[in-house]
Amino acid sequence: MDIKALIREVPDFPKPGISFKDITTLLGNADGLRYAIATMAEHCADLAPDYVAGMESRGFIFGTALACKMGVGFVPIRKPGKLPVAVHSIEYALEYGTDKLEIHQDAYPAGSKVLMVDDLIATGGTAGAAAKLIQQAGGTLVGCAFVIELKDLNGRQHLPNVPIITLVEY
């Protein structure tokens, strides 16, 4: 199945010069969604994670479905101020300014094998920060999975040396 054909490209969103990869059209296609999750699960099977962790908010959609398919629990990595008990947090650089991500300190037992999931890796700033946070919370990062990779931005340089699974490349 051609997953790329189900992803809508929106020029100049959210600002001029950005080609936005809109995954809502993939999510709305029952066969496409099932195929995307099944393919990700297949490619990640050997990593044998104990948990899948996904970044707010599109990482929640794919991450939760993937966790379900792989038979493991899901851990949300959230924007600041959303998680109700003690958190680890990390600040990271954006094009302009900084942002923050948080994870519950008790999200998983120390040494758990964690697979990180997001919809898309662009510059890799978000994924690099989330990878550090997963490790800060005592997890062993066993791999990273993205539906989409924007190759030219070389976001992988911000990730540790673990397997990286992607379904569609631009």
Q: 158: burial class by Cβ within 10 Å (0-12, 13-18, 19+)?
A: middle
The residue within the footprint of ligand AMP, chosen from 63, 125, 139, 143 (CB under 6 A), is 125
Site string for ligand AMP, 96-115 (x = CB under 6 A): --------------------
Q: Is residue 58 flagged as an active site residue?
A: yes
Q: Does residue 122 interact with ligand AMP by CB under 6 A?
A: yes
Contact in structure between 101 and 129 (CB atoms under 8 Å): yes
Q: Does residue 126 interact with ligand AMP by CB under 6 A?
A: yes
How far apart are the C-alpha atoms of 42 and 29, rounded to whole Å? 20
User: Closer to ligand AMP at the Cβ: 105 or 154?
Assistant: 154
User: Closer to ligand AMP at the Cβ: 19 or 98?
Assistant: 19
Segment contacting ligand AMP by CB under 6 A, of 44-52, 100-108, 109-117, 123-131? 123-131
Q: Does residue 21 interact with ligand AMP by CB under 6 A?
A: yes
User: Cβ neighbours of residue 109 under 8 Å, at least 6 residues apart?
Assistant: 138
Cα separations (Å) of 27 from 100, 124, 145? 27, 23, 17
Out of 58, 78, 102, 149, the active site residue is 58
Q: Is residue 78 flagged as an active site residue?
A: no
How far apart are the C-alpha atoms of 45 and 63, rounded to whole Å? 14
The residue within the footprint of ligand AMP, chosen from 5, 18, 48, 93 (CB under 6 A), is 18
Cα separations (Å) of 3 from 26, 31, 169? 7, 10, 10
Q: Which residues are catalytic?
A: 58, 95
Residues binding ligand AMP (CB under 6 A): 18-21, 55, 58, 118-127, 155
